[in-house]
Structure 1
C-alpha cells in the first residue's frame, strides 16, 4: 500500500511538472513538409524583415494557438461569466493593468494580436481574415500587448500597425504540448486558424492574449510572452521560410575548413 501511495505521489508530481512545462498561451505553425522538424515549425533565434527573436516562420495559411488550464484556472479566453460559486469576472477594459484595453475589446474572447508593416493598416483591414472573419478592431499606435510589443523593436507606432481578431475561449478538454520542444502534456485546447487575404503584405506577426480567471475569482491578462523561454509566436512572410543565420563561431569553423581544403588542394597540385 505504501508503494502504491508513493507511486501515485510521484505520478502526480510528474503530471504537475509536465503541465507547468507547457506555456499558458502559445502560437505555432505547421512544420514545412519534409523538413524533419516534427509537427510544428522550429522557432528561430533571430529573423530579419521583421526583426524578431524566438519566432516560427511560415509562408503558409495555417496557425495553431494553444491555451492551457493551470491547476487553479477556471476559465481562459474572454470574460468569466460566473458559475454560481464565483461572480462574473471583469471584462477587458475593466482591468487596471497597463496598458488599459479599449472598450471595443469587451465581450470578446481570446484575442489574436496581428502586427503588419506601418502604413498598411487600411489594406490589411479590408483583406486579411482569420477563419473567414475580419478584424473587429485596429490601432495604428498601440498593440495593447505587454510593453506594447511589436516586431522590430521599441517604437511600434513607426514600425507596425495592429489588427485584433476574436478567436474565442479555450476549452479544457484536450492535451496541449509545448510547441517548441514538442513535449509535455497539459489540459486545454489547440485551435487551428486559417489565414486568408494576405494581399500585398510583406510580413505579418502574430501574438495572442486572453483573460484567465482563477479559482479565487481573480482575473488577469495572460499573453504568449508569459513564462515562455521564447516568445512562442509566429511571423508570416511572403515567400519560403527563411533559414537561421549560423552562429559566428560556426561561420569561423566553416571558414577554417575551407582554408584547409584549399591548402590541401594546392599541396596536391605541387606534388
Structure 2
C-alpha cells in the first residue's frame, strides 16, 4: 500500500478469456514478444464488498483459512478502527472482526501459531489459536510500517514505506532493531523470504532487491517496471508482484515480464497479494474496492 488516497468507481464487466481483471472479469490482452511464458489468471471467486479497505491477505495453512487486514480508515490514521477478518478458502466471510482494535493494519506474517501485523508504527503479535493480541512492539523511528516477512528461523522483518525512511526493522528474540537502512530501499514496501534472502520491493525504482540475513548485503534481483506493493513467488520460482494502483505482473529471473492484470485506468487497486503454491491460487485485496479476489494461475 502506498501513501496516496484515491476514489474508486467500480465498473463491472462479464467474464472473458486469458488475463484476469480485478473488475470481476477476464479480458483478452496482447503481450509484447519479450514477455515471459504464457501464464494467465482465471477467476475462482470474489468475496464481495465486505471489507473496509482491505490491504493484505495471508493463508493460514494450519487452519486452512484466509486472514484479511482492513484499515478501517485512512492508511496512517490511528483511530482503532482497523481489524482482521477470517475468510474461507471459497471466499465466504467467516468472521468480519476476528481481531479488532487495530489502527490501520497492513502486511502480515505467520510463524507457527503467531500472527504478526504491521500497524503504522507498531508490530502487533497475535495468538492465532485464541484470537488475542499478545503484544504490541512500538518501533522507534518508524513512520509507516507496511509489510511483514518471516525467515526460516522465525525472525520477523517489517518495512517502513515512508519516503525518507529506506528502512527495514527486525524482531528477534523479543527485541526490535533497525535491521537495514539504505537508499537502495527507496520507498521499500513488499517483503518476501525466498528461502535464502529477504526480497524487498523498492517502489522508488521498481526493483526487487535481495538482502542477505547474515551480512545484510543488498543486491539487485530483477526490475518490475512499476511501483511495488505485494511480492510473492509462484511454483516455478518466478516472482508475482503487485503495483497498488492496479497492475499485477509475473517476473522471471531474466527480467521478462507478463502482465496478469491491469486495472489502473479503472482505479481498482491491487494491494498486498498472497500466492498459495499448493493450489496455484493468487489472492488480491482490492483496497478501496473493498474485496478480495481469488484466481488460479494457469501456465
TM-score band, normalised by the shorter chain?
A: under 0.3
- TM-score by length of structure 2 reads 0.26
Say which structure is richer in strand: 2
Higher helix share: 1
Larger RCO (CA within 8 A; separation ≥ 6): 1
Tell which structure's C-alpha radius of gyration is larger. Answer: 1
